[in-house]
Amino acid sequence: MTASSPLFVVLAAGKGARMKSALPKVLHKIAGRSLLAHVLATASSAEGKLAVVVGPEMEAVGTEAKAVVPAAQIFVQVAQCGTADAVKAATPAIDAHSGDVIVLYADTPLIRPETIQRLRSALDAGANVAVLGFRPTDPTGYGRLVTDAQGRLTAIREQNDATEAERKIGLCNSGVMAFRVPRFSELLGRIGNANAKGEYYLTDAVELAIADKLTAAVVECDATEVMGVNSRDQLAEAEAIWQSRARIELMRSGVTMIAPETVWLNFDTRIGQDVAIEPNVVFGPGVTVEAGAKILGFCHIEGATIGAGSRIGPFARFRPGARLGPEVHIGNFVEVKNTTLEAGAKANHLSYLGDGHIGAKANVGAGTIFCNYDGFFKHKTEIGEGAFVGSNTSLVAPIKVGAGAYIGSGSVITKDVGPGALALERGTQEERPGWAAKFRQMMARRKAASTNR
């Protein structure tokens, strides 16, 4: 039997009633990715085949699995009566496979690829069954891993079926198991339900394998890796663990974070070396920050590319389609959506830049608005290289401002502006000397008359 191409059977049939949600438990997200997708990504790193077991009327879970791994096979566990029964639902995939079978759980999103590799290494070392174990602070409720004097696994005992001596064991079963067993589906078929819950436990495969003169081993991991998510508070706990891991990985790769615990990352966030991130920054999906950029505090970024050496924030917002070239400056309270800013462009204060293109070294003044939406369609604003847009300007798209052009402050520009031209649009300023004093006197008399009534 070859170890080169494992089959991962991912169990995702649980209803997740404790989540109190219309959404299936395994479709809830941490770091912008569903619990199921996290597990599938881990399994995919081993380049194996995937079989996902779902419950009845859980088409959304199968759809998510296919979206993440199009080649995944989907099987339905009709009646949920134990983990062995769930694995048996994938019998067609198991029987068509000739390598290792590894059972994972879709609500356990924090398991690392290297841990899966250690589990497989135990099979390479001679075990027919390898079980992932952990040592929780309180083992109550977990199945216990029973070992002999040599540390070899002899049985897995569920809490309700364990003796008092077995309940004192601190080494617990995560549920993750790897098998290198000839005719594995036959072994599954021999698992019975003579236990306190009347369920078919996959864990019973250990004693059956040993009875067949096969061997079983335990591979230990940190308890956080096999933490199951069954409720909203556990979802938040898993999020915190994932975020902490990701921050540490980025800092070790050359990213500076002043207050890392306040920076929130997405599963696909990409950040280059020598990027500095100030506190309270949120990265949504699809963000790339290139080397040497500086992200000031309280920025919210999604679907954006921040060019090398750029400086953004504080309090800047980037929406999908924002593309910054190198050395671009985006300042406080500027929102950028579906707009490209070429090298050296600046928009330092209080502006909305939506559906546009801004040329290299152009300067966009404070209070500038790209009026991109007419109530039915979005339109594009194009600002040429080196152009200067004065403060408090409204550019009514579709519109083009030529290279090197100037827009006077306070203008509403509705027509294209040629290269190097000056465009102004203002009402004529009128001044009435002495008007202010006369007005104040008039209003004071009115106020006094009103008070004396």
* Residue numbers annotated as active site: 349
- HSE, side-chain direction, 13 A CA sphere, residue 220: 12
CA distance 221 to 235: 20
- Check: CB of residue 365 under 8 Å from CB of residue 350: no
CA distance 88 to 74: 13
Question: What are the strands, taking DSSP E only, across 225-303?
Answer: 256-257, 270-271, 276-277, 282-283, 288-289, 294-295, 300-301
93 SS3 class: helix
- Reported residue count of the chain is 453
Question: What are the strands, taking DSSP E only, across 214-255?
Answer: 216-220
CA distances from 450 to 87, 241, 391, 440, 443 (A): 86, 66, 42, 15, 11
Amino acid at residue number 232 = R
Task: Compute the Cα dihedral for 231, 234, 236, 238 and give only its sign.
Answer: negative
17 CB burial (10 A radius; 0-12, 13-18, 19+): exposed
- Check: CB of residue 304 under 8 Å from CB of residue 320: yes
Q: At what angle do helices 59-68 and 35-44 cross, to 10 degrees?
A: 40
For residue 67, give both structure tokens.
């979206």
Which residues have a Cβ under 8 Å from the Cβ of 374 and sit 6 or more positions away? none
Element at 246 (helix H, strand E): helix 232-252
- HSE, side-chain direction, 13 A CA sphere, residue 423: 26
Amino acid at residue number 211 = A
CA distance 307 to 323: 8
Element at 86 (helix H, strand E): helix 83-88
Interstrand relation of 153-157 and 49-54 (parallel, antiparallel or unpaired): unpaired
DSSP at 262: G
CA distance 88 to 177: 14
Q: At what angle do helices 113-124 and 35-44 cross, to 10 degrees?
A: 50
CA distance 239 to 245: 10
